[in-house]
Structure 1
Amino acid sequence: MGRQRSLRSEIEHHLKEHDYTLSKLGELTGINPGHLNELLNGDPPRVITIGQLDAMAAALGQAPGWLYELYEEECFSEGKVSRSRVVPFLVRCAEIGRHDCMEQVVSKLLENPKNVSILFSVAEHLFERGKQKESVPFYQLVIENEKDSHAERFVMSQYRLFRALQGTDAEKNWEAVIRFDPYRKWLPENHQLDALLQLANVCYTLRRWELVEKYADELRELAHVVYEDEICKRKNPKSGQTQKTERPLERHLVVYYGQGYLLKGVALKNQGKYEEAKRYVDAYADLSWFEILDETGQAEVQKFRLWATANSYTLDMLTGKTDILPDYIRFLADHPNEVLPGLVTILKSANEYGFSVDHVLQQFGERISRFEGQQNVVRLSHHIQFRYQLAVYLLKKGKWKEGLEETVRCLVLSDTMMDYDNFKRCSALFWAHLQHASDQQKRTYQTVMMKGAVKDERDFAFIGSGIGIV
């Protein structure tokens, strides 16, 4: 008959196997030998923390997660849960992938509805540590088990889930927007500001311009209210003493204020409303009047000044004022991070008004060669637009081989990002010039089309461009 396993019996067994005394174990783990004795031999024994168990595992040559399947006894005692033990335990399980142990403990926690708060704490710990993917199951559990859909932890879970699910898959990004949108106004103001900014940014990448406008309008309105409240409190400090403690903003307030105008302008620009867009560019070109600017705020104001300059050039180019091209090129040369969206604008203008930009492409050739390494979803969207506009430009010049090569490249990028609108657009462009395609280009085209055939039936939005989106 095999010996009965328990956390402490297993530790004792391995100590004997290694011929370790408590002094030796204390030396290897950094835990005081007297404390170790209380943990292993006390009557009753002191509770072992998950950090102490991990330290013992390392000392005994065991892999991370050793004996986690037996740690449940430290989390529950006489039918009561120890929050201080179970939260770190579940966090560690999520971090190292011990899903079996997570499920075992979570199942027991959910026997009492009050323990939903524990699952929310685990999710928040993971999210704040940058473990957004690992936090997702816990936020989902909160959403599924919290009865009050207006409770703060329910709404915060919806918000965190929206943030955690953002990536380069346009379809999933859109689903995340639809799921979170109804809850945005139930968030506390500090998180609501950031939620509106994130919603606008995601819809920007999806080219949902009317939604970008809606969220940008809400963002400006809320940022203005928060700003006025802050000014009032600073002028009347005594009146603020009776109010509850302020929750910190994720970014400086001027970011939300300025982005409300910037995103509105970008949405209008992409709907061809260039003159109206200029008014919004002017609104964030100089935010130095903002009264609550610290060093961080001043730096943000400088960013908006730069973005306003870049977007002014963009609007001029798109309205046919091509005489400013030399100035725009000098601006881009001085600000390398703006080269990618800048070239999208220049190519789009060249395609619209029929002028040559070969010299521009040559000047920024080295920079263009680095576009393939883009990872950020907004930069990826710029890259797709650049490849499409470049393909159109080359095909208009009769450079069939190069133009179709760029078309196929754009098609592959669109397929990778599940960018269905642009996938269709690239496909139509290739088909329109099929007679000029090489056999290799046709084979590549067919391979990509076969892969995207099913996805092509659905209508999801094309990734857009713009400058200053944060």
Structure 2
Amino acid sequence: MQVVARCLRSEIEHQLKLHGYSLTKLAELTRIPVGNLSRILSLNETSRSMTIGQLDTLAMVFNQAPGWLYELYPDECYSEERLSRKRLVPYLVRCAEIGRYDCIEPIVSKMLDNPKNVSILFAVAERLFQNEWANESAYFYNLVIDSEKDCFSEPFVISQYRLFLISQGTNAEENQEAVVRFAPYRKRLPENLQLDGLTKLVKVCFTLQKWDKVEQYADELRELAETQYELQKRGYSSESLFERPLVYYYGMGSLLKGVALERQELYEAAAEYVRKYADLGWFESLDDAGKKVVEDFKVFAKANSYTLDVLMGKETVLADYAAYLADHPDEILPGLVTILKSVNQYGFCIDKVLLLFSDQIDLFDNFQDMIGMDQHVRFRYHKALYEFSKERFKEGIEETLYCLVLAYRMRRYEDCFRCSALFEKHRKYATGEQIQRFQAIMIGGEEVY
């Protein structure tokens, strides 16, 4: 122990002499009190442990790279052979932030000899996650899961949840794997995380088009929100526990249940759920945030009422729906998906509607979140069908190729097969250049538009 400590301090003493700094000058530059510096740099038994922040400050003063002497720091984390949580957590956090896994792995290996140290690894993971170093935190959450014997313990379950959040993206295969890993633990989450966990779970299932799971988790979300609301009214729960107002979770559960039914063409059943979130003003004691949620869901209900009318073939509402979308730009993409799906079934002409929103359509590639990209894929597929129905074959093939590329990027292979089949059905209308691009996509998996 003393050898490592002396090496660390000897390196600092060497830099001190190299720069010609007195202890007083070093204290001035580092803003560390001179008395503290003296105790920190002492080479005798009374030396004071150094914090990782102090070591970083010394590195800056001596013009050293981030992570200077980190490999010599672990001894500062021990006191009489006992780990110092206060020193170790910030050290491991900093190592992860700057990528010094060569320092992390040896000390973690030693820590795992004692199961009690799993709590330290969890604290490191949480610190990184809260500080928006999500990818770096995943290493430690995986260590917790691999080392924690009790799968009902809070660190184990929260680690599963955090990894679920971290792994979400636009890759359908990875999202499906994340759902399978996390779903069994959703009801074991602490009370303050269950509602958000269910909300995020049901949204991922929505993008995967797992309508039975969307229905199941949406029902659970709505029921849990109702339970928490009743507990809150009786004074047994506080809304401040949750990330959003309780009315949001109830409304989102109803909305996603309705959308799942709509996607299964159960339009009358879907309309019942639209009515559930059309007016949520019956929630008591709403603050300003809660009142805004109520108004937001009124807007969603209006949009989804139009959606159901259009899907049931009510051509007369198209003009009103288009006007509504013009006033609510965030609804344009999902709204156009609905309109295209309907016109492909009932044979309406919506060229004027598509022209009206042509500028917005050109920007659909800007959607990089999983729900936005899901809607974009669906838009391009239904737009291709629409163009073919109007015998605009070149345009239809362009939309098909566009959709094929998006589907490959998202690893949505069922959509890839649908697009491939659609192209082959209309291959005789394709130009030589379009055929070459199709073949390139099929070989390479994607193409940049």
Question: TM-score, normalized by length of structure 2?
Answer: 0.95
Distance in 2 between residues matched to 1:311 and 1:88, nearest whole Å? 49
Amino acid at match of 1:346: I
Amino acid at match of 1:340: L
Kindly provide the CA deviation profile for residues 9-48 of structure 1, in whole angstroms up to 9, marking residues without a partner as x: 1111122222222233223222222221221127422111
Percent sequence identity over aligned pairs: 56
Matched, 1:427 2:420: yes
What does 1:245-394 align with in structure 2 at a 5 Å threshold? 248-394=241-387
Kindly provide the CA deviation profile for residues 108-167 of structure 1, in whole angstroms up to 9, marking residues without a partner as x: 111111000000111111111122111111111111111111111111111111111111
> Helix, strand or coil: the match of 2:187?
helix
> Helix, strand or coil: the match of 1:168?
coil
Could you tell me which residue of structure 2 aligns to residue 38 of structure 1? 39
Amino acid at match of 1:403: G
* Greater relative CO, 1 or 2 (CA 8 Å, sep 6+): 1
Q: State the 1:67 CA deviation.
A: 1.1
Tell me if the contact between 1:190 and 1:247 (Cα under 8 Å) persists in the aligned partners: no
Of 105, 108, 111, 1:106 maps to 108
Could you tell me which residue of structure 1 aligns to residue 10 of structure 2? 9
Could you tell me which residue of structure 2 aligns to residue 161 of structure 1? 163
Q: State the 1:88 CA deviation.
A: 0.8
Matched, 1:151 2:144: no
Of 85, 96, 99, 2:98 maps to 96
Of 187, 190, 199, 2:189 maps to 187
Distance in 1 between residues matched to 2:126 and 2:334, nearest whole Å? 35
Deviates most, 44-53 or 213-222:
44-53
Could you tell me which residue of structure 1 aligns to residue 130 of structure 2? 128
Amino acid at match of 1:374: F
Query: How many pairs align?
Result: 442
> Helix, strand or coil: the match of 1:284?
helix
Distance in 2 between residues matched to 1:189 and 1:299, nearest whole Å? 24
Of 56, 78, 81, 2:80 maps to 78
Question: TM-score, normalized by length of structure 1?
Answer: 0.91
Could you tell me which residue of structure 1 aligns to residue 433 of structure 2? 440
Matched, 1:18 2:19: yes
Distance in 2 between residues matched to 1:441 and 1:30, nearest whole Å? 67
Distance in 2 between residues matched to 1:45 and 1:212, nearest whole Å? 60
Of 176, 179, 184, 1:177 maps to 179
Could you tell me which residue of structure 2 aligns to residue 202 of structure 1? 204
Distance in 2 between residues matched to 1:14 and 1:343, nearest whole Å? 66
Amino acid at match of 2:128: L
Q: CA RMSD in A?
A: 1.7
Could you tell me which residue of structure 2 aligns to residue 397 of structure 1? 390
Distance in 1 between residues matched to 2:78 and 2:433, nearest whole Å? 65
Matched, 1:57 2:59: yes
Distance in 2 between residues matched to 1:172 and 1:413, nearest whole Å? 16
Tell me if the contact between 2:214 and 2:256 (Cα under 8 Å) persists in the aligned partners: yes
Distance in 2 between residues matched to 1:247 and 1:189, nearest whole Å? 12
Amino acid at match of 1:26: A
> Helix, strand or coil: the match of 1:291?
coil
Tell me if the contact between 1:54 and 1:64 (Cα under 8 Å) persists in the aligned partners: yes
Distance in 1 between residues matched to 2:285 and 2:201, nearest whole Å? 26
Kindly provide the CA deviation profile for residues 151-202 of structure 1, in whole angstroms up to 9, marking residues without a partner as x: 1111111111111111111101100111111111111222111111111100
Of 407, 411, 418, 1:414 maps to 407
Q: State the 1:443 CA deviation.
A: 1.6
Matched, 1:214 2:207: no
Distance in 2 between residues matched to 1:30 and 1:57, nearest whole Å? 13
Distance in 2 between residues matched to 1:348 and 1:87, nearest whole Å? 54
Could you tell me which residue of structure 2 aligns to residue 237 of structure 1? none
Could you tell me which residue of structure 2 aligns to residue 459 of structure 1? none
Distance in 2 between residues matched to 1:150 and 1:246, nearest whole Å? 25
Deviates most, 75-84 or 271-280:
75-84
Kindly provide the CA deviation profile for residues 278-322 of structure 1, in whole angstroms up to 9, marking residues without a partner as x: 000000011111013111111111111111111111111100011
